[in-house]
Structure 1
Amino acid sequence: MLFIASCAKDEVKPYDHPFFHIMVDNKGEIDVLSNRKDTVDYKVYLSAQLQFEPITVQYEVQVGDGLKEGRDFDLITEGTTLTFPQGIFERPVRIAWKESTLDPAKNNTLIIRLLSNSKNFTMGLPGPDQLQKQLVITKK
């Protein structure tokens, strides 16, 4: 008979670092065409264990001098707060793109930047680079 005993002295704890991030196809920078005419959900994701209380996320939308709301796009999501109810792990920032002519000499970017949240979870991927803390959308 063979008995094997072990203790959990050197047990590896699972990585559990909750965070919020925003991306499209695992990218933090994307392009949209100037003739695009549709509505897109740019999703903010919560990477964490199930939370039992709602969490609010503050974000901002920074528009370059080459874009203008109403002419180039409409921001459908109102306000600058997203609420993640219990069991919800993604929330959209919705933008309706409009066909328009662009001035290539101007800044034709729109940036959705995550600022803070009610649980003080990390904003962006964990690590010093804070990747996916913002989504840079360039209209071309």
Structure 2
Amino acid sequence: MKLILYTAFFALLFSSCSKNEHERYDLRFVHIMDNGASTVNISEKGNSIGTYNIYLSAPQFLEPVTVTYKITVGAGLTEGVDYELLNPAESVTFLPGIYDMPVRIRWKANPVDPAADNTIKIELLRASNGDFTIGLPGKDQLQKSLTITKIP
């Protein structure tokens, strides 16, 4: 009887070890957000530096990944008066082990016309490695861009 119990115990123990191993999560994507949101408001009254991070989500990688983005400024904002872009290039490079890179904008106190387009949009375009999805995975491609609005 003991032999049957031991045999059954070991058979169950070894048969369950390799069954249903965890599947490897290997989606690769880049996205941009600020505190989980794709839209942000900034006051016209403050002088501040806004840091808006681009995030890379992928298993460990060994080669640098460069992400190209485009900045579109609404007609209601003037560079040097309302804001200053602190990143000279429109790309960031993720070295191995780095998973977030900043885009920085210096906001300057200056009144804005509430009827004008007072936005800056940072839109992710592509990654140097074609295996990366731009935005969150899914048909909606959420967090593919971030819109910052300067408000009165």
Q: TM-score, normalised by structure 1?
A: 0.94
Q: Higher helix share goes to which structure?
A: 2
Aligned to 1:85: 95
**Structure 2: which 5+ residue stretches go unaligned?**
1-5
Aligned to 1:38: 48
**Structure 1: which 5+ residue stretches go unaligned?**
none
Aligned-residue CA RMSD (Å): 1.4
Aligned to 1:129: 140
Structure 1 residue 28 displacement after superposition:
0.5
Q: What do the CA deviations read for 1:25-70 (whole angstroms, capped 9, x no partner)?
A: 1000110001120112111011111211111010010001101111
Alignment of 1:68-107 (within 5 A): 68-107=78-117
Query: Given the alignment, which residue of 7, 17, 28 partners 1:18?
Result: 28
Query: Number of residues paired by the alignment?
Result: 140
C-alpha change, 1:23 and 1:113, in structure 2 (3 Å) is same
Looking at CA atoms only, which structure, 1 or 2, has the larger radius of gyration?
2
Q: TM-score, normalised by structure 2?
A: 0.87
Structure 1 residue 8 displacement after superposition:
4.8
What is the CA–CA distance in structure 2 between the aligned matches of 1:8 and 1:123, rounded to whole Å? 35
Does the residue aligned with 1:58 lie in a helix, a strand or coil?
Answer: strand
Does the residue aligned with 1:31 lie in a helix, a strand or coil?
Answer: strand
